[in-house]
Amino acid sequence: SQFETQRPDFICLDIMMPGMSGYDVCRKIRARDEQTPIIFISAKSEEIDKVLGLELGADDYIMKPFGMNEVIARIRAITRRCYRAERKEELSAFQMRDLEVRPRELRAVRGEEVIELSLREVKILSLLKAHAGKLLERDTFFNKCWGVDYLPNSRTLDQHISKLRKKIERDPKQPDIIETIHGAGYRYSE
């Protein structure tokens, strides 16, 4: 399934979908993964069984019609909540060069600039910081930031790192926070 191959940070499920209901999809995902946040989307005319949805492991509901800002706000709130519940010890802010990473807020700050980060991006930076000066192999990232049973596409990590560099590096072409060790992995050096 797409969930297995993509391993998203967040899932929005429409309750009424062709082939399989959102409830059934949620049930299947939760059988394999308890952490990934799930929101149900529903039209006002649809009968929602909120109790069933919450029992299946959904984190929230959004009713159609909705604005993009509402969806983004709910996603950020739920992702923060899930991250807080997951790893209490990783919540304090930390420095990487002139960048202050704030896991609790899913943000980084450089001077006046505020950079929004995804849960996985925070996990990647936390991992690099925790092992500063050490080479981290690709499998380590997948095990710690995706989950041990995730079977990655070889480009997945590179794409995430490239996107993250565009956000946090002063010059993404010559990164000084996330260093590439060719053929081996990545490193952050204090």
Encode pLDDT of 54-96 as tens digits. Answer: 677 787 878 888 888 888 888 887 777 666 555 555 568 999 9
Instruction: Return d(Cα 12, Cα 71) in angstroms, integer.
Output: 10
Is residue 103 within 8 Å of 122, Cβ to Cβ? yes
* pLDDT tens for each residue of 114-162: 998 887 888 899 999 999 999 999 888 887 887 655 556 667 788 889 9
The pLDDT value given to residue 71 = 84
| Strand 11-14 with 38-43, pairing | parallel
CB atoms within 10 A of CB 52: 12
